[in-house]
Structure 1
Amino acid sequence: MGFEGDEESSSPQILTKSPFRYNSPLVQVSLIGLVCFCCPGMFNALSGMGGGGQLDSTVADNASTALYTTFAIFGIIGGGVYNILGPRLTLFAGCSTYVLYAGSFLYYNHYKDQTFAIIAGAILGVGAGFLWAGEGAIMTSYPPPGRKGTYISIFWSIFNMGGVVGGLIPFVLNYHRTTASSVNDGTYIGFMCFMSIGAVTSLAILPPSRVVRDDGSRCTNIKYSSVSVEFVEILKLFLNWKMLLIVPAAWSSNFFYTYQFNNVNGALFNLRTRGFNNVFYWGAQMLGSIGIGYIMDFSFKSRKTRGLFGVSLVALLGTGIWAGGLANQLRYSRNKVLDKLDFKESGSEFVGPFFLYFCFGLLDAMFQSMVYWVIGALADDSETLSRYSGFYKGVQSAGAAVAWQVDNHHVSFMRQLVVNWSLTTLSYPLLLVLVFLAVNDDVHDEKKFIDETRKEVNSSIIT
């Protein structure tokens, strides 16, 4: 089965330099950003409240464990599904599962039965695997080779605006409920409305064969793929040295969410302040993605040098921020509970933990955008990059599944912090090795790539 719309790919195309064409990379990356604004963005806001908006984090921990367990499996095979079904069906199927998950917490608000939430979490893991594999392929293959960092930052900014808006929903709707045990029904209903919009918007994404860059080049025109081909290609990823070097970064990149959401935001702040904090946490992600995107695309002429500098910079900032986390963690533990902080009433005591949480958001965006840039620099065709992105999300989700259960088994906050810091630190030298060995300088590569794709376009026009 080929991508929908492939039958049109051989028809003449009128090229224009306007970046706002519907079939331009800018518009398509912005659309996938909007899809993720509505679905994963709202999911992030829901998770970021700590405990899924519940005082007791047990149900959120168990639902998240089920989610990331299935996500680990379907994230890896999601790239193959994308290559068989194409972006629209893959993304729509993935987005539809987010609504069910938010609805399960609405159900829990009334009946206090976590079974539905756990099942919905497992189903969301399947859908998220499809969505993120497709998103990764689009974000890394649609842009021009030398501007992938810029497009990743555009996507990440739009996507994380969803977390900002999603953080405002519980903040506004629960502003006067400072002692409530859970957010109100309207919070979950608001999330469900946005998620439904995201599912519909996913149908507007074009297949790569119909995306034309400003210079006339376009993404790989994949004619078809099959289950057997994708099965073999996915298995090969586990023997691919490039992917093996990414494993620590992938594992750690969602592992730290549990600690940040439950054991910093959830443990230190009251309900309305968690929503307030999330507005700035996801806002910091927008700043972080823009900053690292500029560095990875424009800091040096050589693409390899930009990659090495970007990884080193993130490593330096990450070390400083986790050191700040350690200083904060020395003040409290599971057995030494502090009074909940409120953004209006706690005064100067609120500033330090709030700034740390803000920095955690900044680091998350810089870390993940940097990793996506590295993945995007390993290839240019969406078929390969969908598999690479799926592998990254699968390993990432396996780490998250473990992290949520670690917290559910009441492992000390300090041990969780040390593990998070150690995992991210381990990933930096391996990424530096990967960039040094596998990322080529882009001047020659871009010219060759543009020439080849331009020939393809001219050939199809003549045909």
Structure 2
Amino acid sequence: MSTEHPAVHPDADMKETTRVETDLGAVDGGEVGARPRGWRHHQIKAGPVNLAWYASPPFQLVLVSFVCFLCPGMFNALSGLGGGGQTDPTLADKMNIGLYSTFAVFAFFGGGFVNYCGVRLTLALGGIGYCIYALSLLLSVHYSVGGFNITAGVLLGFCAGLLWTAQGTIMISYPAEKDKGKYFGIFWAIFNLGAVIGSLIPLGESIHSKENKTVSDGTYIAFIVLMFFGSLLALLACNGRDVIRKDGSRVVLMKHPTVVSEIIGMWETFTYQPMVVLLFPMFWSSNWFITYQANSVNGAYFTTRTKALNNLLYYLAQIVGALAFGYAMDIQYFKRSLRAKISLVFLFALTMIVWGGGYAFAKGYTRADVNKDLHPDHQFMDWSTSGYVGPMFLYIFYGLYDAVWQASVYWYMGALSNSGRRSANYVGFYKGIQSAGAAVMWSLDSHKMPYLSEFASNWGLLGGSLIVAAPIIWLKISDHVSVEDDLHNTDETLADVLPQGHPEKTVV
């Protein structure tokens, strides 16, 4: 069905206004619009089945998901072993302090890079840092290259800030309102499948060993190669201006931003929705617990092959959690405002249950107990050890919890706005604050903070941040965000959001 309209007479002001207001309803799902010509917008068919075109939100989502599958997905598989795959986590802690400190700064301005350089180039540049990080860990096994290690961590902080801001902007601004939970679920499943596959590499290398040792050179080389291909894959992505939804509408992207305009945009975000600061503790907490889970549980307590198995199960649980929770958040039977309230209650209950179980495990050992220098005869837990099933299920639920937490944060941000400009600012705040929290936690771990204290900080921050976020989730997430509200106090116009080919684009 065509979206062509008869030309509007320039003097017919009332008629133009009426037509714009009528056509706004198509932005999130009205008539199917005529797409531009060219291979990017040609319908892909698999036999009798019509698939999405190349420059469509679903196709681009899957493509970007596989970039993250190969870059941060593999990084998570390596980091999840504790200590970046090494028995002593001190070096990885220092690298991660540099990583997340840099990430915290560049994530705030990542939206400017995304909208100025485009999604494709930003993702490709972001992917490069991951393979250099893994290369530095490989070199550190054989040589003293501390300076290069720290530099690699700082470089990855810059690159990750670019990659994740581009990914977050896509996740929030590409889908229609009714699909945002599903998009997160699909992305998170594919992304974490990378960590699942990545976990198979050290698992296969150490399948017959019951020792706790540094992973092999082959493991590091495999990660380096896969991460490099992820960076190349990003070059196949489309920029936002080329992406067309099913209804013919384009995503809303900021035009030609500068660092100054990005700072102004952040201020505009506060003035548009000042209560967004209530989500900041959730942002801060969202990577705080990763250090404890990777280093203080998996890295400290288990043999190498068991750490790899735990990693695999952790990220499989993330896939299940992301898909289940993501699709549940888009159930149209309930109003979106009600779904937001239900999710908050569910998340608080899950926090108490999962971390309550974690307390029973955390109080059972200390740093001294698992220190081989102090206790040379200490035996790390293996999957063949009696009593492994309990800790295994705890780690599975830690993975499930991580996915549900991240899905909730992305969904709450997406529910507050459909604007690409504002979405970039929200994601910048999210990744910046998240990374600042992670940098602090990696620093605390490097200074040998007691395991039980690390655990307590996690449980307290997670539960407390939900209480702080309750007012904005309860009061400010509405059933629909109108285009007029989204364009308020930004430099975007109706011409940026109306479907391609509409004559109103020339008169707005």
Give the secondary structure class of the aligned counterpart of 2:500.
Answer: helix
Say which of 211, 221, 229 aligns to 1:189: 221
Give the secondary structure class of the aligned counterpart of 2:502.
Answer: helix
Shift of 1:429: 2.5
CA contact (8 A) 1:12 1:461 kept: no
Q: Distance in 1 between matches of 2:306 and 2:426?
A: 38
Q: Which residue of 1 aligns with 2:340?
A: 307
Q: How does 1:91-102 map to 2 (within 5 A)?
A: 91-102=123-134
Shift of 1:179: 2.6
Shift of 1:453: 7.6
Q: How does 1:17-56 map to 2 (within 5 A)?
A: 18-56=50-88
CA contact (8 A) 1:145 1:377 kept: yes
Q: Which residue of 2 aligns with 1:3?
A: none
Give the secondary structure class of the aligned counterpart of 1:71.
Answer: helix
Distance verdict in 2 for CA 1:263–1:103, change over 3 Å? same
CA contact (8 A) 1:15 1:216 kept: no
Q: Which residue of 2 aligns with 1:6?
A: none
Letter in 2 for 1:60: A
Q: How does 1:239-258 map to 2 (within 5 A)?
A: 241-258=274-291
Higher mean Cα deviation, 84-93 or 239-248? Answer: 239-248
Shift of 1:381: 2.2
Q: Distance in 1 between matches of 2:233 and 2:504?
A: 30
Higher mean Cα deviation, 242-251 or 211-220? Answer: 211-220
Q: Which residue of 1 aligns with 2:460?
A: 422
Q: Which residue of 1 aligns with 2:20?
A: none
Say which of 432, 442, 452 aligns to 1:404: 442
Distance verdict in 2 for CA 1:131–1:175, change over 3 Å? same
Q: Which residue of 2 aligns with 1:4?
A: none
Distance verdict in 2 for CA 1:445–1:303, change over 3 Å? farther
Distance verdict in 2 for CA 1:201–1:439, change over 3 Å? same
Q: How does 1:239-278 map to 2 (within 5 A)?
A: 241-278=274-311
Q: Structure 1, residues 402-445: CA drift from partner, whole Å, max 9, x if none?
A: 00111111111111111101111112123332122322113x84
Q: Structure 1, residues 90-131: CA drift from partner, whole Å, max 9, x if none?
A: 111111111100000010111144322111001100000011
Higher mean Cα deviation, 105-114 or 186-195? Answer: 105-114
Q: Structure 1, residues 348-398: CA drift from partner, whole Å, max 9, x if none?
A: x11111111110000000000110001111111222211211110000000
Distance verdict in 2 for CA 1:285–1:403, change over 3 Å? same
Q: Distance in 2 between matches of 1:454 and 1:228?
A: 24
Shift of 1:215: 2.5
Measured on the aligned residues, the alpha-carbon RMSD in Å equals 2.5
Give the secondary structure class of the aligned counterpart of 2:427.
Answer: helix
Give the secondary structure class of the aligned counterpart of 2:329.
Answer: helix
Distance verdict in 2 for CA 1:15–1:223, change over 3 Å? farther
User: What percentage of residue pairs aligned between the two structures are identical?
Assistant: 40
Q: Distance in 1 between matches of 2:176 and 2:314?
A: 30
Higher mean Cα deviation, 452-461 or 162-171? Answer: 452-461
Query: TM-score, normalised on structure 2?
Result: 0.84
CA contact (8 A) 1:254 1:399 kept: yes
CA contact (8 A) 2:109 2:259 kept: no
In structure 1, list runs of 5 or more residues that go unmatched: 1-8
In structure 2, list runs of 5 or more residues that go unmatched: 1-33, 45-49, 371-377, 487-493
Give the secondary structure class of the aligned counterpart of 2:287.
Answer: helix
Q: Structure 1, residues 15-39: CA drift from partner, whole Å, max 9, x if none?
A: 8694521111111111111110000
Q: Which residue of 1 aligns with 2:380?
A: 340
Task: Say if 2:194 is the partner of 1:201.
Answer: no
Q: Which residue of 1 aligns with 2:428?
A: 390
Higher mean Cα deviation, 232-241 or 424-433? Answer: 232-241
Q: Distance in 1 between matches of 2:458 and 2:332?
A: 29
Larger helix proportion, structure 1 or 2?
1
CA contact (8 A) 2:35 2:248 kept: no
Q: Which residue of 2 aligns with 1:70?
A: 102
Q: How does 1:47-446 map to 2 (within 5 A)?
A: 47-179=79-211, 181-220=213-252, 222-235=254-267, 241-298=274-331, 300-337=333-370, 339-343=379-383, 345-347=384-386, 349-442=387-480, 445=482
CA contact (8 A) 2:381 2:388 kept: yes
Give the secondary structure class of the aligned counterpart of 1:434.
Answer: helix
Aligned residue pairs, count: 451
Letter in 1 for 2:380: K
Q: Distance in 2 between matches of 1:135 and 1:66?
A: 22
CA contact (8 A) 2:42 2:54 kept: no
Q: Structure 1, residues 110-169: CA drift from partner, whole Å, max 9, x if none?
A: 114432211100110000001111100001110111110001000000000011011111
Q: Distance in 1 between matches of 2:74 and 2:478?
A: 37
Q: Distance in 1 between matches of 2:79 and 2:436?
A: 17
Shift of 1:208: 2.1
Q: Distance in 1 between matches of 2:116 and 2:504?
A: 26
Query: TM-score, normalised on structure 1?
Result: 0.91
Letter in 2 for 1:441: D
Letter in 2 for 1:136: G
